[in-house]
């Protein structure tokens, strides 16, 4: 009976499989441009479903690392099923991220897994658990940008190319934001085990506001410029140009109509 329960705790959720299916079908629609006049809507579905899939993998990485570090409670909480409902608060983790993507093309870190830190021994393990999530975003960015850095774009339709570029941009923004060492973000979780007990107690009340503070600062033009300069520098290292990610965002905003792309593409 215990074994059966353990297996159920780790069985991949049908919700996650449905998200992967939506991502695959919408990706096919973008590639084949089957939705005449609605390529942007297909890009929107592809990017949003891809973003939620990456959110699931991000939180799964936290949970899986915690499991191997001693917190066996993550299974009973459903964190190993890749079910986004187990990780998310609908407003904070689904609605707000999509709004931030629409407004400024920023991958809002979302979701949460609650780790029983008392079960885990060793500061390095605590740090690795926090780092596992954003490292997954980096890996996801590397995967979706593979056609760019492998120089395998021949024959790839432009809309699909731009959608991949924009999805890669969201992963890079999420990874960078998550690694900011501010309470409430994974970056702080990485360094927290190495801080003094008194300092941690003083910082703890500010944790719920850390993410809001970071996004508030991103509305400062000078900080926003520095942030996106860093994002695009990483993307260029992956072979993704500013041109690619820009038109990915334009296709994503399907309600504005199909973007009119100048004749010369792929240069930026």
CB within 8 Å of 245: residues ≥ 6 apart: 105, 162, 165, 166, 168, 169, 232, 235
90 secondary structure, DSSP code: I
Query: For residues 124 and 132, what is the distance between their CA atoms, to the nearest angstrom?
Result: 12
pTM (2 decimals)? 0.90
| Helix (H) / strand (E) containing 75 | helix 73-76
Query: For residues 133 and 105, what is the distance between their CA atoms, to the nearest angstrom?
Result: 20
CB within 8 Å of 18: residues ≥ 6 apart: none
**What pLDDT is recorded for position 92?**
64
**Count of helix runs (H) and strand runs (E) in the chain:** 14, 0
Query: For residues 81 and 126, what is the distance between their CA atoms, to the nearest angstrom?
Result: 22
Work out the average pLDDT over 226-246.
96
pLDDT in tens, 190-215: 999 999 989 999 988 888 788 788 88
Does residue 52 carry a pLDDT above 50?
yes
Work out the average pLDDT over 114-130.
91
**What pLDDT is recorded for position 30?**
94
**What pLDDT is recorded for position 6?**
61
Residue whose pair of structure tokens reads 């979302």 in the numeric block: 110
Measured from the Cβ of residue 1, the count of other Cβ atoms closer than 10 Å reads 5
Q: To the nearest whole percent, how much of the chain has pLDDT over 90?
A: 59
Of how many residues is the chain composed? 268
**What pLDDT is recorded for position 35?**
60
**What pLDDT is recorded for position 4?**
45
pLDDT in tens, 81-111: 998 888 766 566 666 777 777 776 788 766 6
Query: For residues 115 and 243, what is the distance between their CA atoms, to the nearest angstrom?
Result: 41
Are the beta carbons of 78 and 86 closer than 8 angstroms? yes
**What pLDDT is recorded for position 132?**
95
Whether 192 sits among the annotated catalytic residues: the reply is no
- What confidence tier does 2 reach under pLDDT thresholds 50, 70, 90? very low
Measured from the Cβ of residue 4, the count of other Cβ atoms closer than 10 Å reads 8
Catalytic residue among 59, 222, 250, 258: 59
pLDDT in tens, 24-42: 999 999 998 766 568 899 9
pLDDT in tens, 149-201: 999 999 999 999 999 999 999 999 999 999 999 988 899 999 999 999 899 99
Does residue 123 carry a pLDDT above 70?
yes
Helix/strand/coil for 97: helix
């Amino acid at each position: 009976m215990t074994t059966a329960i353990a297996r159920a705790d780790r069985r991949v959720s049908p919700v996650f499989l449905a998200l992967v299916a939506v991502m695959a079908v919408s990706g096919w629609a973008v590639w084949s441009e089957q939705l005449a006049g609605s390529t942007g809507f297909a890009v929107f579905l592809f990017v949003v479903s891809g973003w939620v899939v990456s959110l699931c993998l991000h939180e799964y990485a936290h949970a899986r690392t915690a499991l191997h570090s001693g917190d066996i409670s993550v299974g009973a909480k459903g964190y190993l099923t890749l079910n986004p409902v187990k990780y998310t608060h609908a407003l904070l983790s689904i609605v707000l991220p999509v709004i931030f993507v629409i407004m400024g093309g920023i991958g809002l870190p979302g979701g949460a897994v609650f780790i029983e830190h008392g079960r885990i021994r060793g500061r390095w393990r605590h740090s690795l658990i926090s780092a596992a999530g954003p490292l997954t975003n980096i890996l996801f960015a590397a995967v979706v940008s593979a056609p760019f850095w492998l120089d395998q774009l021949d024959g790839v339709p432009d809309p699909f190319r731009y959608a991949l570029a924009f999805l890669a941009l969201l992963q890079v923004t999420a990874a960078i934001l998550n690694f900011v060492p501010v309470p409430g973000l994974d970056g702080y979780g990485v360094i927290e085990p190495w801080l003094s007990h008194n300092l941690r107690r003083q910082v703890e009340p500010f944790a719920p506001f850390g993410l809001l503070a970071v996004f508030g600062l991103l509305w400062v033009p000078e900080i926003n410029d520095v942030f996106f300069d860093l994002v695009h520098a990483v993307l260029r290292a992956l072979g993704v140009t500013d041109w690619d990610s820009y038109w990915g965002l334009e296709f994503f905003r399907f309600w504005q109509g199909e973007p009119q792309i100048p004749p010369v593409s792929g240069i930026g």
